[in-house]
């Protein structure tokens, strides 16, 4: 159990910057309904942030996972040098092509009104790509504290820019109309400061990672690089497929929905904001992945590794279930917050539980996917992801025109469900792990029923105080249920707060 406690501790450290990063980003996104009354004004920025993940996959081409894999039996410094040289050269070449094609990209993405967004996007992608292996090095060396410091610093720079130029500056200029700062306000950058803040945050992050870059020696082992590429190229397909599954609905929404352009932008703005309400699930997934990937590789040769993986899956699913309940049972609170300025922002709130449950399936898939990474059968992962991408494309094209937000959310849900099931079936064939399948399915079914029952109660009586009260009761009930069912498992973890205290003498 010490291994699981170690993973939990590392997940916490990786989770702190991830949670704070996502939470601050979430607050910035939550601020959109207060800064912009009309959701349509946020559609362009949503489009940019739907493009960035695709390009991040292309720029990093699986090097992060390959670094963890090959560092188990190769000279780590030599490997790091070779992959860093590869990353630097490829990033310079690709960003040059991207920058030269920025006009065509702006046109294809319907960003003709803001071509500067594409230029700023190029900078974000370039700096983030160069930070990839440095962050992987910190994770592989089990240095989560430095990882957390660098991540948080970049986010704080991002946040400071946005608060200054969108929160503080407009009010200051209105009170001091003769201030020279009015020139900045007159530039009318508006929501573009989200990208500028991101760009400066990415640059600050790279600057703080200079100590990791200074350890690089200019050496390039071509045979080693070819071996790494043989391992990692299927991961590019996995990455692209994953981005299609995650981002396609937002990327194509306004192009396939049968609405006038302005109304389509309105719905895209709402859908993108509603999608972010499942952030608690994605926080859990990302924090876990940061710690789990190097951990799984390091544990793969240990006796009883599969049993540990099964226990880790159970704790992961339990954590996701609690996150799901926090979202689903307090949905009215979230709706109340985002609709304080404009009721329009709450139109698509009903799809949030569907998206959240779909993201749990995605998290389970990521956990399951360790089988093909450990066995080197990455092509299977590529085929699973391609299958998911085909399902996503077909369902988005069929359902968005008819069901709008609901169609997009059902496409996401179905895709991740099929990927999860496919990965489980293939994983049990090539790398059997004794997952507590029935218990995990039961937990997922219970939390789904609780959320549906809660929504049913609110159809009868809907004051927000009643929603909060009944939601809290249901959450407490599930907590007590899990504590009872998993009592022995928690006791085996030997957590301080579960230890029996000695009775006072005398």
pLDDT tens for residues 418-463? 999 999 999 999 888 899 899 999 999 999 999 999 999 999 988 9
Q: By mean pLDDT, which of 205-209, 337-341, 408-412, 472-476 is the weakest?
A: 337-341
pLDDT of residue 474: 96
Using the 8-state DSSP alphabet, how is residue 42 labeled?
G
The dihedral of CA 38, 40, 45, 49: what is its sign?
positive
Across the range 200-220, mean pLDDT stands at 91
Q: By mean pLDDT, which of 81-90, 93-102, 212-221 is the weakest?
A: 212-221
Neighbours of 344 (CB within 10 A): 17
Taking a C-beta distance cutoff of 8 angstroms, is the pair 127, 200 a contact?
no
User: Residue 37: pLDDT above 50?
Assistant: no
Over pLDDT 90: what percentage of the chain? 28
pLDDT of residue 1: 46
- pTM of structure: 0.70
Distance of alpha carbon 292 from alpha carbon 298, whole angstroms: 10
User: Chain-wide mean pLDDT for the chain?
Assistant: 81
Distance of alpha carbon 334 from alpha carbon 94, whole angstroms: 40
Across the range 129-146, mean pLDDT stands at 86
Across the range 221-246, mean pLDDT stands at 84
Distance of alpha carbon 154 from alpha carbon 402, whole angstroms: 41
User: Residue 200: pLDDT above 90?
Assistant: yes
pLDDT of residue 284: 67
pLDDT of residue 297: 64
Q: How confident is the model at residue 235 (pLDDT cuts 50, 70, 90)?
A: confident
- The 3-state DSSP class for residue 378 equals helix
Taking a C-beta distance cutoff of 8 angstroms, is the pair 64, 56 a contact?
no
Q: By mean pLDDT, which of 117-126, 142-151, 346-355, 495-504 is the weakest?
A: 495-504
Residue count of the chain: 506
**Between 505 and 109, the higher pLDDT residue:** 109
Across the range 11-27, mean pLDDT stands at 56
Q: How confident is the model at residue 367 (pLDDT cuts 50, 70, 90)?
A: confident
Across the range 462-467, mean pLDDT stands at 91
Over pLDDT 70: what percentage of the chain? 83
350-376 in b/e burial notation, b at 16+ Cβ within 10 A? ebbbbbbbbbbbbbbbbbbbbbbbbee
Distance of alpha carbon 106 from alpha carbon 114, whole angstroms: 8
Neighbours of 346 (CB within 10 A): 20
| CB-based contacts of 83, cutoff 8 Å, min separation 6 | 63, 66, 67, 133, 225, 228
pLDDT of residue 86: 93
User: Residue 88: pLDDT above 60?
Assistant: yes
pLDDT of residue 451: 95
């Amino acid at each position: 159990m010490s291994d699981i406690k170690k993973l939990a501790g590392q997940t916490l450290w990786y989770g702190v910057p991830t949670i704070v990063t996502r939470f601050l980003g979430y607050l910035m996104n939550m601020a959109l309904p207060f800064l912009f009354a009309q959701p349509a004004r946020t559609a362009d920025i949503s489009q940019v942030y739907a493009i960035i993940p695709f390009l991040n996959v292309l720029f990093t081409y699986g090097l992060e996972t390959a670094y963890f894999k090959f560092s188990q039996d190769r000279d780590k410094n030599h490997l790091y040098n070779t992959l860093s040289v590869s990353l630097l050269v490829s990033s310079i070449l690709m960003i040059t092509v991207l920058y030269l094609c920025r006009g065509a990209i702006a046109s294809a993405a319907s960003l003709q009104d803001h071509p500067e967004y594409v230029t700023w996007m190029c900078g974000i992608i370039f700096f983030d790509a160069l930070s990839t292996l440095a962050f992987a090095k910190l994770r592989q060396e089990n240095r989560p504290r430095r990882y957390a410091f660098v991540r948080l610093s970049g986010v704080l720079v991002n946040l400071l820019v946005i608060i200054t130029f969108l929160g503080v500056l407009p009010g200051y200029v209105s009170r001091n109309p003769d201030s020279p700062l009015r020139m900045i306000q007159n530039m009318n950058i508006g929501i573009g400061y989200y990208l500028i803040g991101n760009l400066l945050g990415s640059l600050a992050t790279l600057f703080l990672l200079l100590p990791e870059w200074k350890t690089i020696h200019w050496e390039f082992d071509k045979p080693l690089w070819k071996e790494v590429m043989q391992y990692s190229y299927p991961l590019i397909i996995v990455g692209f497929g994953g981005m299609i599954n995650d981002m396609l609905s937002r990327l194509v929404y306004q192009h396939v929905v049968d609405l006038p352009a302005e109304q389509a932008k309105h719905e895209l703005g709402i859908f993108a904001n509603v999608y972010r309400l499942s952030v608690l699930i994605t926080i859990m997934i990302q924090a876990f992945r940061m710690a789990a990937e190097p951990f799984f590789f390091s544990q793969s040769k240990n006796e009883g590794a599969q049993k540990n993986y099964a226990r880790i899956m159970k704790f992961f699913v339990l954590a996701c279930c609690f996150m799901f309940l926090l979202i689903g049972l307090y949905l009215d609170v979230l709706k109340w917050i985002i609709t304080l300025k404009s009721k329009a922002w709450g139109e698509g709130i009903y799809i949030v539980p569907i998206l959240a449950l779909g993201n749990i399936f995605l998290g389970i898939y990521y956990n399951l996917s360790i089988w093909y990474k450990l066995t080197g059968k990455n092509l299977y992962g590529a085929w699973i992801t391609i299958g998911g991408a085909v399902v996503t494309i077909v369902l988005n094209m069929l359902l968005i025109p008819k069901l709008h937000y609901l169609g997009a959310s059902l496409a996401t849900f179905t895709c991740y469900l099929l990927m999860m099931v496919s990965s489980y079936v293939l994983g049990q064939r090539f790398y059997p792990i004794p997952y507590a399948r029935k218990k995990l399915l039961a937990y997922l079914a219970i939390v789904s029923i609780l959320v549906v029952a809660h929504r049913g109660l609110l159809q009868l009586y809907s004051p927000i105080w009643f929603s909060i009260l009944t939601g809290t009761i249901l959450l407490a009930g599930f907590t007590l249920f899990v504590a009872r069912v998993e009592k022995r498992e928690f006791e085996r973890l030997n957590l301080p707060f579960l230890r029996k205290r000695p009775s006072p003498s005398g």
